[in-house]
Every structure is written in structure tokens, then in C-alpha cells.
Amino acid sequence: MMHGYWGGPWGMGWMGGIFMLIFWVLVIIGIVWFVRCMVAGRSCRIEHDTVPLDVLKQRYAKGEIDKKEYEEKKKDLN
């Protein structure tokens, strides 16, 4: 029987074990991430940047700007 370059009859050997370990670690990380999102009740999407209109809404909600300024800046953003 011929053995593959990586040391096993199917060409897997110790490299196959490493790839299998990496695969299962990634699967477990994915499951944990999904469960944490579901338990926390938040969206699982990854946000890269804050949308300027959201920042404006937060500033208005905190009372940093008044309604007139909010409406003006909202018009500028749209």
C-alpha cells in the first residue's frame, strides 16, 4: 500500500489531524457566538460604522441638541 506525502494512506497524516482540530474549534466558536446572540436578545450582525443619523438621534435623546437643531441637521443628512 502506498502512503501519501503527509504520511497516511489517504494523504492526511498529522496535517489532517490539525485541520480537523481547526475545523472543530471554528464550529464550536460559531455555536457559542450564535447562542450568545440569541440569549442576549440582540442582533447578531456585526456593525462596522455608526450611521450619522443614529448619532444625531442619540444626541437628541440625550438632550445635547434641541429639536430645531435636530431637524436642521437631519435635513442636511438626508
Whether the model clears a pTM of 0.75, i.e. scores above it, the answer is no
Domain boundaries, the chain: 1-46, 49-78
For residue range 11-62, list pLDDT tens digits in order.
566 677 888 899 999 999 999 988 888 887 666 666 655 688 888 889 999 9
Q: Which residues contact 66 (CB under 8 A, 6 or more apart)?
A: none
Determine contact, residues 15/9, Cβ cutoff 8 Å: no
